[in-house]
Structure 1
Amino acid sequence: MSQVTVIEVPQWQGSGSRTARRLVEGAGLLAAMVPNAARHRVEVADGDSPAAFAVTATRARAAVDGVGDGLVVTVGGDCGVELAPVSAALDRYGERLGLVWFDAHGDLNTPASSPSGAFHGMILRALTGEGHDELLPGRAISPGRVVLAGARDLDPGERGFIADSGLTHVTVAELSDPAILVEAVAATGAEAVYVHIDLDVLDPGVFASVGSPAPGGLQPDHLLKLVAALVERFEPAGLGITEYEPVRLEDQTLLSPLIATLVARAS
């Protein structure tokens, strides 16, 4: 196994959850769950403006760029922390990169379409090149190289973008067969894959420590099978794990071995 580096970004201001401040504690707990890893904690800028998020993203990018070979695991914090590591993967892999976005939500809004105005609901759209000017990657990813996996709570604007953009949405039902997900990523032409996991992709009946739960999600053991199938076929380009709001001890008990196994399989 190669060296694993954890970049902890305890940003909570991009979340629309009323309990978002729990994400700070969640980021620290997630980082500690990754065994035998080098760890770097990014200082989060004050405020919830695009300018503040841009400062944090710049700091996170510096941390990612300072890592040598080996898997980089970015832990949040809200989903907006993915701006820097995904941008770095895009710069490294270019058209070879595919992005798999495990999430109960689309994260595909723009500032104009967002019902909440929360950045964590815009981050995936920003990575495709649409959003706040300060929060766009230097190199956008084509929607045709993005696979949204497990989303089940989509806003009207997000549904329209999925229908028109070429982005692939693999539903929870379709994810019952890992081969369907692998084939969807292969169809993008990807040779490497960055895997984003918002923990609300899990079913809240099993894992409830998230700010925006949505019923009908994945079981933890099946999420492991899906990630294992991806990294067996494609080169791992990075792993992001976000949106842990610790509230139940049983969720932490479930999550600790899950995170360790996810990282082991990705590296």
Structure 2
Amino acid sequence: MSQITVIEVPQWQGSASATAHRLRDGAKLLAEMVPDAVRLRVDIADGDTPAALAATAARTRAALAQAPEGLVVTVGGDCGIDLAPISTALDRYGDSLALVWFDAHGDLNTPGSSPSGAFHGMVLRALTGEGHDALLPGRPIHPERIVLAGARDLDPAERDFVASSGLTHLTVADLSEPATLIAAVGKTGAAAVYIHIDLDVLDPAVFASVGTPAPGGLLPDDLLKLVRALRGELEVAGIGITEYEPSRPEDQLLLTSLIADLTTP
């Protein structure tokens, strides 16, 4: 079995949630749920400015450089913590990388279109090369190599981007069969995939410990089947797991099993 490294990034400043401070505890708990892993922790920069978020991203890149060979699981924290891991994967894999973004939301706003101004709602768009100059990857990913999976709460500007960019959007209904996701990723021609998981992709009727819940999400077993299907078809360039705001013991119990299953073969 290859080595697993978990990188804990307790960034909360990129979130618009009123209870975003809980993300710090959520990052710690998520890191502890990844079994048999080398554990690294990133000290986050103070503040919520683009410069502060960029400083945390730089520290995350430095932690990634310390990770031994094998699967790296980056846990947060808000969705913005995946900027550095995905940028690093793009540097390594280039056009052979696909990105599957499990999220209830699009995270496709720009600073000009965002209703909240929060970076966690802009990070996926930033990865395509549009956003704050300090928060852009060295090598952007083309939207045609992105699969947005399970999103059901999109702002108007995000819907426009989905319609015009070539990005693939699979609804929760589309994801009822893993083969649909595998086919969508297959169309990108990718040899490797980065898997981003915002835990609000789960149905809040089953898992409610997130800051921005949206009804009608995936069930945990369905998410696990989809991730296992991806891992069975493609090299995994990394996994990001984000947006856990611990608030209910039953959610922590559910996650303890789910995270172990998501991150181990």
TM-score (norm 1): 0.99
Q: Is this contact kept in 2: 1:65–1:88, CA < 8 A?
A: no
- 1:68 CA displacement: 2.3
User: CA separation in 1, counterparts of 2:25 and 2:132?
Assistant: 28
Range moving further from structure 2, 24-33 or 66-75: 66-75
**1:157-168 aligned within 5 A:** 157-168=157-168
Give CA deviations for 1:169-191 in whole Å, capped at 9, x if unaligned: 01100000110000000001111
Q: 1:150 matched to which residue of 2?
A: 150
Letter in 2 for 1:84: A
- 1:35 CA displacement: 0.7
Moved >2 Å (runs of 4+): none
Q: 2:110 matched to which residue of 1?
A: 110
User: CA separation in 2, counterparts of 1:92 and 1:191?
Assistant: 12
Where 1:239 maps in the other structure, the secondary structure is: strand
Give CA deviations for 1:75-107 in whole Å, capped at 9, x if unaligned: 000000001000010011111100000000000
Q: 2:85 matched to which residue of 1?
A: 85
Letter in 1 for 2:51: A
- 1:66 CA displacement: 1.6
Letter in 1 for 2:60: A
TM-score (norm 2): 0.99
Where 2:13 maps in the other structure, the secondary structure is: coil
Q: 1:218 matched to which residue of 2?
A: 218
User: CA separation in 2, counterparts of 1:124 and 1:36?
Assistant: 30
Q: 1:9 matched to which residue of 2?
A: 9
Q: 1:41 matched to which residue of 2?
A: 41
- 1:7 CA displacement: 0.5
User: CA separation in 2, counterparts of 1:171 and 1:233?
Assistant: 21
- 1:67 CA displacement: 1.4
User: CA separation in 2, counterparts of 1:65 and 1:86?
Assistant: 13
Aligned Cα root-mean-square deviation (Å): 0.5
- 1:215 CA displacement: 0.2
- 1:64 CA displacement: 0.5
Q: 1:191 matched to which residue of 2?
A: 191
User: CA separation in 2, counterparts of 1:221 and 1:239?
Assistant: 17
Give CA deviations for 1:135-159 in whole Å, capped at 9, x if unaligned: 0000000000000000000000000
- 1:227 CA displacement: 0.3
Stretches of structure 1 that go unaligned for 5 or more consecutive residues are: none
Q: 2:63 matched to which residue of 1?
A: 63
Q: 2:243 matched to which residue of 1?
A: 243
Identity fraction in percent = 73
Q: Is this contact kept in 2: 1:150–1:171, CA < 8 A?
A: yes
